[in-house]
Amino acid sequence: MMQSGRVITAFGRHFTVKLQDGTTRHSYAKGKKTGICVGDYVHVELIGQDEARIVDILERKNLLYRSDEMRSKQFAANVDILFIVVAVEPNFSEDLLGRALVGAWSAQIKPIIILNKIDLSSNYQAAKDRLKTYLDLGIELIEVSTLNPLDLKEKLLPILQDHTSLLLGQSAMGKSSILNVLVPAAQAHTQEYSVALGTGKHTTTTTTLYELPEINANLIDSPGFQSFGLKHLQLNEVIAGFPEFTPYLDQCRFYNCQHLHEPGCGVLKALAEHKIAAERHALYERILLECTAPERY
Ligand SMILES: Nc1nc2c(ncn2[C@@H]2O[C@H](COP(=O)(O)OP(=O)(O)OP(=O)(O)O)[C@@H](O)[C@H]2O)c(=O)[nH]1
Ligand SMILES: [Zn+2]
């Protein structure tokens, strides 16, 4: 019997699919079918009482893709909002923040920055100053502290409502603490699915979709990230990650300008005139030089 559902966990070739009636089934891919990921809407064949076989992936709205330093790939499909969690302390990496933004914009996902730990007031202003570049790009910023869970919920739940959102954060920014406020049932689950490192500290290793049924929201928790590989992107996708370049693109002399060293480049001119932040162009250059997509040339 065929049914439709949504993939809520993925581990190798093992998946959990939530069916429309609200029950979940341990599922595996039919034949050699690959590329199934959390967030996918699928057709399954039911097998026995609690298993299913995924036979089809329905058309995706988008796919968020990154690779990490271990070359393992993390995907999530049909994501409306990417929440990037940074904190007042410890310092967040602007390189990773910038890469996550490129990942979101290149996949047509709306990014929102969450600044956590605003209770740590002595470093608050410094963190805000570091975020100014991103606010100037028009990115929404939500300021929270998990020590004030009511206020956190008041700010985030209305944004989560009726959407699928993905929570991403470098280690120690407080991503798990935020998830546990929003989805109390996640606590037990993260412990169950996490691995203890040598330090005895538990960390998220799998991507999981949690439901908030009262507000028709889905929240995807993804493993913390130490790197954000974007090698798979093509030139136009990388450029989509730098919306501040857009007004200058039609001023380039060459139609296939890569905005790196070309003469008569509108982006480089704007950079020289400080209309584009130097660290943003430097990030653009780093990402582009890593890209292996042959279509780039
Ligand atoms: N002062 C303060 N500390 C916080 C806040 N949120 C989280 N923390 C602390 O920050 C540390 C990291 O929080 P976690 O939620 O474990 O961070 P994480 O981002 O999930 O980190 P990983 O598990 O390594 O991925 C913990 O010691 C938390 O108690 C906050 O709003 N204010
Ligand atoms: Zn150019």
ipTM: 0.97
Closest ligand 1 atom, residue 148 Cα:
31
Q: What is the CA radius of gyration of the chain?
A: 20
Give the pTM: 0.91
Nearest partner of 223 among 239, 251, 202, judged by Cα? 202
User: What is the CATH number for 275?
Assistant: 1.10.40.50
Q: Name the closest-CA residue to atom 13, ligand 1.
A: 174
Q: Which atom of ligand 1 sits closest to the CA of residue 170?
A: 19
Residue 201 has pLDDT above 70, yes or no: no
Q: Which atom of ligand 1 is nearest to the CA of 120?
A: 1
Say yes or no to pLDDT of 199 above 70: no
Binding-site residue ranges for GTP: 116-119, 169-177
Average pLDDT over residues 128-146: 96
Partners of 44 in the β-ladder: 3, 54
Query: For the ranges 44-48, 56-60, 198-202, 247-251, which has the lowest average pLDDT?
Result: 198-202
Instruction: Give the ligand at the shortest distance from the Cα of 144.
Output: 1
* Domain finish residue from 221, 250, 280: 221
Pair 49, 28: CB distance under 8 Å: no
Domain of residue 104, CATH code: 3.40.50.300
Ligand 1 touching residue 223 (CB < 6 A):
no
Residues of the chain with pLDDT > 90, as a percent, come to 76
Q: What is the residue with the minimal CA distance to atom 3 of ligand 1? A: 117
* Amino acid sitting at position 16: T
User: Is the residue at 230 inside a domain?
Assistant: no
Lowest mean pLDDT among 172-181, 188-197, 275-284: 188-197
For residue 48, count CB atoms less than 10 angstroms from its CB and return exposed for 0-12, middle for 13-18, buried for 19 or more. Answer: exposed
Say yes or no: 111 and 39 in one domain. Answer: no
Q: Where are the alpha helices (H) located in the chain, listed in sequence order? A: 94-106, 124-135, 149-160, 175-182, 186-193, 235-240, 266-272, 278-290
Residues 53, 194 share a domain? no
Do 124 and 145 lie in one domain? The reply is: yes
Distance of CA 288 to the CA centre of its chain: 19
Q: What is the domain range of residue 22?
A: 2-57
> Is 123 part of any domain?
yes
172 lines ligand 1 (CB under 6 A): yes
How far does residue 286's CA lie from ligand 2's centre (Å)? 16
- Same domain (yes/no): 241, 194: no
- DSSP for 33-71, written as a single string: -----TT-EEEEEEETTTEEEEEEEPPPS-EEEEE-TT-
- 258 Cβ below 6 A of ligand 1: no
Residue 279, by phi and psi: left (phi above 0), alpha (psi -120 to 50) or beta? alpha
Q: How confident is the model at residue 13, as a pLDDT? A: 84
What is the number of structural domains in the chain?
A: 3
Q: Are residues 68 and 53 in the same domain?
A: no
Higher-pLDDT residue of 82 and 206 is: 82
**With a 6 A CB cut-off, is 116 part of the ligand 1 pocket?**
yes
76 located within any domain:
yes
All residues at 6 or more sequence positions from 133 whose CB lies less than 8 Å from its CB, including other chains = 277, 279, 280
Question: What is the DSSP secondary structure assignment for residue 255, as one 8-state letter?
Answer: T
Q: Let me know: does 6 contact 18? Beta carbons within 8 Å.
A: yes
Identify whether residues 20 and 85 lie together within a single domain: no
Same domain, 145 and 175: yes
Same domain assignment for residues 71 and 53: no
Ligand 1 pocket test: which of 74, 118, 146, 208 has the largest number of ligand atoms within 8 Å of its C-beta?
146
Q: Is the pLDDT of residue 21 over 60?
A: yes
Say if residue 111 is in the same domain as residue 253.
Answer: no
End residue of a domain, out of 161, 191, 221: 221
**What atom of ligand 1 comes closest to residue 180's alpha carbon?**
15
Cα separation, 95 vs 198, whole angstroms:
27
Same domain, 106 and 34: no
CB 282 within 8 A of CB 268: no
Q: Is 227 a domain residue? A: no
What does the pLDDT look like over 38-88, one tens digit per residue?
999 999 999 999 999 999 999 999 999 887 666 667 789 999 999 999 999
Whether 178 is covered by a domain: the verdict is yes
Can you give the pLDDT at residue 123? Answer: 96
Residue 119 lies in a domain: yes
- Do residues 130 and 94 both lie within one domain? yes
Domain final residue, candidates 198, 221, 244: 221
112 alpha carbon – ligand 2 mean position (Å): 28
**Average pLDDT of the segment spanning 192-204:** 54
